[in-house]
Chains A and B, each alone.
Chain A
Amino acid sequence: MTVHNLYLFDRNGVCLHYSEWHRKKQAGISKEEEFKLMYGMLFSIRSFVSKMSPLDMKDGFLAFQTSRYKLHYYETPTGIKVVMNTDLGVGPIRDVLHHIYSALYVELVVKNPLCPLGQTVQSELFRSRLDSYIRSLPFFSARAG
């Protein structure tokens, strides 16, 4: 079981952060294009889900999986989107994504007067804390699975 990568987007589609741990295959396009592709896909899926839902939604889109990986999604009321790709063995991790938002992004970036919002996070502290948090997760294995 492992974590492949993590994206953080703001409400305008700006990619605030991207980290990679185990990624066997690259997308074949530039990182900038990849972020736009990811954000665009999530935007379309959210719109699709709200239209197709047979009942009133509370949380909305949670995750999708293919035969090779699972994409987990968490969105805050302010439009901050946390996206994590893992392998298939991983169950619901909404609380993990929420922790990344509240205990890492809010604490280390939003509350930091030297961190400008609305652009890529430069904070080294955020990067290293996020990395150690992900590596400490029970479903993260250091060996690429």
Chain B
Amino acid sequence: MLETDTFKLHCFQTLTGIKFVVLADPRQAGIDSLLRKIYEIYSDFALKNPFYSLEMPIRCELFEQNLKLALEVAEKAGTFGPGS
């Protein structure tokens, strides 16, 4: 995790070498669980999708929908200090 005064960069690397990188507000909480949730969404809606080929850009609507939902939940769930 890399920390600056304007953002925090979190990285989650899976056992297969896939890297999930999130840039967030330094006060944002719950990023570790968010990263795992994103991994879950990736494996459910991209990897299990028969029309998706590995190493290609992901153009799966359900993936994007669920990702957006997870991000909204994480944003609402927690910041330390005043939200913007």
A residues touching B (Cβ–Cβ < 8 Å)?
A: 45, 49, 52-65
Evaluate contact between A62 and B5: CB separation under 8 angstroms. Answer: yes
Q: How many B residues touch the partner, as a band?
A: under 10
B23 close to A (CB within 8 Å): yes
CB within 8 Å of A: which residues of B? 1-7, 9, 23
- Give how many A-B residue pairs fall within 8 Å (CB-CB): 37
Let me know if A57 and B4 touch, CB within 8 A. Answer: yes
Q: In the bound complex, do residue B7 and residue A54 qualify as a contact, i.e. CB atoms below 8 Å apart?
A: yes
Indicate whether A61 sits within 8 Å of B1 (C-beta atoms), given known contacts A52-B9, A52-B23, A54-B23: no
The 5 closest A-B pairs by CB, nearest first: A64-B2, A59-B5, A55-B6, A63-B3, A53-B6
Give CA–CA (A54, B6) in the complex, Å. Answer: 7
| Pairwise interchain contact A45-B23, C-beta atoms closer than 8 A | no
Q: Which chain A residues border B4 with CB–CB below 8 Å? A: 49, 53, 57, 59-62
7 more contacts with CB within 8 A, not counting A57-B4, A58-B6, A65-B3, are A49-B4, A57-B5, A60-B5, A61-B2, A61-B4, A63-B3, A64-B3
Specify which chain B residues have a CB less than 8 angstroms from the CB of A64 in the assembled complex: 1-3
- 22 A-B pairs whose Cβ atoms sit less than 8 Å apart in the complex: A45-B2, A49-B4, A52-B7, A53-B4, A53-B7, A54-B6, A54-B7, A54-B23, A55-B6, A57-B4, A57-B5, A57-B6, A59-B5, A60-B4, A61-B3, A61-B4, A62-B3, A63-B3, A64-B2, A64-B3, A65-B1, A65-B3
* Whole-angstrom distance between the Cβ of B19 and the nearest chain A Cβ: 14
CB distance from B38 to the nearest CB of A (A): 19
Q: What residues on B are CB-neighbors of A62 within 8 Å?
A: 3-5
CB distance from A91 to the nearest CB of B (A): 11
